[in-house]
Amino acid sequence: MLPPFVDASWLADHPEAVLADVRSSAADPHEGARRYAAGHLPGAVFVDLDRWLAAPPSPAEGRHPLPDPEVFAEGMRRAGIGDDTLVVAYDDEANAYAARLVWMLRVTGHRATLLDGGITGWTGPLTTTVPEPRPAAFTARPWPADELAGIDDLEGTLLLDARPAGRFRGEGETLDVRAGHVPGAVNVPCRENVGRDGFLLPDDDLRARFAVVDGPWVSSCGSGVTACQNLLVAEHLGLPKGRLWPGSWSQWAATDRPAELG
């Protein structure tokens, strides 16, 4: 079975893989495309998170709801990703954004994995040449209900929040209408699953970070994007499977449900 993370040597042995650059920014939806244009891995296609990996934001559903399966399928077709394509995705922020694409592909039965280290760990040359992918046949498939959790599915379930510690505590909130976190949630900042070099921490260190996971759990963040990285790290470690809460804090914050600070 394809692991959720691979290294550059594995990639070199799989030249058939389609590289997907999923760089993005919560502050500026156009920043990822600018970074891609400035330099990307040779042959990589750019996948726009806000256009193809999320539906329009709303208070009821959060900032990055899952898109309609047909919208996702169209984005994959345009990127040259078909039903049988092997996809290796990366970004420049601990694979916190690229994980959304990989999770979406894996839960719908496609072969996808993250390049450990992302672009920051890539030692080869970058290019500004933009490939012209041949449109591929990608079948739209519904999001599997057993991989998802909703706002009313959280009671009595372990909730891991992947946001940075400051936002979890309620400090400096600029993205959502309220600060804080869901009462009882546990903070496991996904960007801290990697070291300063951008590569995953040793497995023993990761297991210590996820020590609280001993049964069913739900992964959240600000809007269901970076939460996917925690899900893939847990899969890498062989831990009990978690579910994604797509609405995450942005959905909860738009209600009058209680919030915790600190």
**Cα-based distances in Å from 175 to 63, 110, 139, 170, 194:** 9, 32, 34, 11, 24
Among the listed residues 87, 98, 221, 232, the single catalytic one is: 221
**Which region holds residue 74: left if phi is over 0, alpha if psi is between -120 and 50, else beta?**
alpha
Long-range Cβ pairs for the range 230-234 (8 Å, 24+): 230/160, 230/162, 230/188, 230/190, 230/193, 231/99, 231/103, 232/4, 232/5, 232/99, 232/102, 232/103, 232/114, 233/4, 233/190, 233/193, 233/200, 233/206, 234/210
For the question of residue 228 being annotated catalytic, the response is no
Q: Are 224 and 245 in contact (CB under 8 A)?
A: yes
Among 180, 178, 167, 181, which residue's Cα sits nearest to residue 253? 178
**DSSP states along 79-125:** TT--TT-EEEEE-SSTTTTHHHHHHHHHHTT-EEEEETTGGGG--S-
The two counts, helices (H) then strands (E), for the chain are: 9, 9
Rounded CA-CA distance 149/172 in Å is: 27
Catalytic annotation, residues: 221
